[in-house]
Amino acid sequence: MPYYLGLDSSTQSLSAMAIDPERGRVVLDESINFGRDLPHYASPHGFLANANPNIKHSNPLMWVEALDLLLSRVRATGFDLSQVAAVSGAGQQHGSVYLSTPLSAAGKFGADRALVDSVKPLLSRPSAPIWMDSSTSAACGEIAGAVGGDGVVTKVTGSRTIERFTGPQIRKFYREEPASYEQTREIHLVSSFMASLLVGTTAPIDLGDGAGMNLLDLASGSFSRELLDATAPGLGAKLPGPVPSTQKVGEITGYFIEKYGFRAGTPVFAFTGDNPSSLIGMGASAPGTAVVSLGTSDTVFAAMREPRTDPQGFGHVFGNPAGGFMSLICFANGSLAREQVAKDVGYDWDAFTRAILETTQPGNSGNLLLPFFVPEMTPKLLAPAAKRFGSPAFVAGKEPAALVRGVVEAQALSMQYHSRWIGETPSLLLVTGGASRNRGILQVLADVFQAEIRTLKTGNSSALGAALRAAQAGGAHDWADLYARFAAPDPDLQVAPAPGTERVYDELRARFVAELAKLG
């Protein structure tokens, strides 16, 4: 004791993880799965159905209700929330929440009713566009055009205009629903929204997550006047922050003290994006270690020695919560693509792993799959393109084990190919996320990247990162000490490249890249 609490509001779940730094132990790990636990939001994968595959929104009230449900579960386990000395958190990046009443003017949340009932009347937009949305190409073009092109946007913000980023999402809202935009007084990222709920007032956006908006001037650490103006009128006044990720944003509000037993005065530190938070949770906030995160999205990221941008325009620069910057490349076809193939061939995860490790060989006997089951951002594909090349049986979808290896190999090839701009060939990769427990996937990553693979014991590095940030900011623990206690590699799950695989994947990569080029 004391404990430090991290919350992680991701696409499909809300998690709470608490650590005891003195004893080096995770003392709480609870999760709410939106699809399973809150079925009345009709969001089995965390987002609402839409006839247009490019539109992906969530109901922000689902996240609010999940917070109440999560904390009541935590209480029911007997965990004593009054022992929590500080809180921080993380959220899926880029998603935005629109309020007609700023949280700073909303008054106290009454403990006599559910949080969701207090928050509902504050919304100016019933749904929140999330990172999977790719419907804002027109807005991207308009913003880039207004400031002198994507080269300028990249130079200022570290990314070209990107469909899922918050600025283009805000512009689309302003263009399509000008009256509702006008009514909107405050716009939050998922991270700052969740932090605001905890402190019962407006919590600012942090520099880590704020860099994913196409609005932040990385050099000055403030929102760019030109980009604000190019995005929507009056936008600067609606955005709280940005602040450094280590900033205290308030103290836990009375609602949570009365209902769940938090201690009055518990500080809350800025919430950040899930990827910046994972950088901390993996103990990778100093340059030199690349991380692969296998989640709803797959991401590759690393702390940066110096800000550097992707000439192909897919990669991004975000703020490193420990200071400085991080690179990131995001792939929309992560776990949903793996799950789609498993479902199509009728395999559970054991059979999925055996298909890779026992039934098939590196290179998949020349069979190649393009793994784009949903629109993709890296490379940019606004329509799905799951194509198969190779033997007639494979192309006809009749080789289940090869289809499994096909999706995993193609994902690894795409990650490796699209992360070359970071400029360092990693000889060691840290792997996190739900699928990081799967030895088959790890072996393919080792072979394709020709790198040693290490994993951590916890699959949820974003929630762990949030708890570590609370401990660093709230308890004066230093990073090195926290990393040694919580981010040590799991000795039972390390994988090395298999001999002879380098040449196999050089060939397959060349074919993969050639097929990508044909997609245009």
**DSSP class of residue 12?**
S
- Nearest CA to 241 out of 188, 181, 183, 169 is that of 188
Instruction: CB nearer to ligand XUL: give 118 or 335.
Output: 335
| Cβ 13 to ligand XUL shortest distance, Å | 11
Instruction: CB nearer to ligand XUL: give 56 or 454.
Output: 56
Say which residue the tokens 């809350």 belong to.
268
Task: State the greatest distance between any 2 C-alpha atoms of the chain, in Å, as a whole number.
Answer: 66
| Cβ 35 to ligand XUL shortest distance, Å | 16
Report the Cα–Cα distance between both ends of the chain, in Å, rounded. 56
| Cβ 43 to ligand XUL shortest distance, Å | 15
CA distance 188 to 101: 12
Instruction: CB nearer to ligand XUL: give 168 or 273.
Output: 273
| Cβ 138 to ligand XUL shortest distance, Å | 20
Say which residue the tokens 């050639």 belong to.
514
**DSSP class of residue 511?**
H
Report the interface residues with ligand XUL, using CB under 6 A: 10-11, 92-94, 131, 164, 212, 273-275, 297, 299, 328, 330
Write the CB contacts of 127 (distance below 8 Å, at least 6 apart in sequence).
48, 57, 58, 59, 60
Instruction: CB nearer to ligand XUL: give 8 or 447.
Output: 8
Burial class (CB within 10 angstroms; exposed 0-12, middle 13-18, buried 19+) of 77: exposed
Q: Residue 190: CA atoms inside 13 Å, Cβ hemisphere, count?
A: 32
Instruction: CB nearer to ligand XUL: give 132 or 508.
Output: 132
| Cβ 154 to ligand XUL shortest distance, Å | 15
Instruction: CB nearer to ligand XUL: give 332 or 467.
Output: 332
Helix, strand or coil, per DSSP, at residue 35 = helix
| Cβ 488 to ligand XUL shortest distance, Å | 25
Kindly report the three-state secondary structure assignment for every residue of 311-367: CCCCCEEEECCCCCEEEEEEECCCHHHHHHHHHHHCCCHHHHHHHHHHHCCCCHHHC
| Cβ 93 to ligand XUL shortest distance, Å | 3
Instruction: CB nearer to ligand XUL: give 118 or 299.
Output: 299
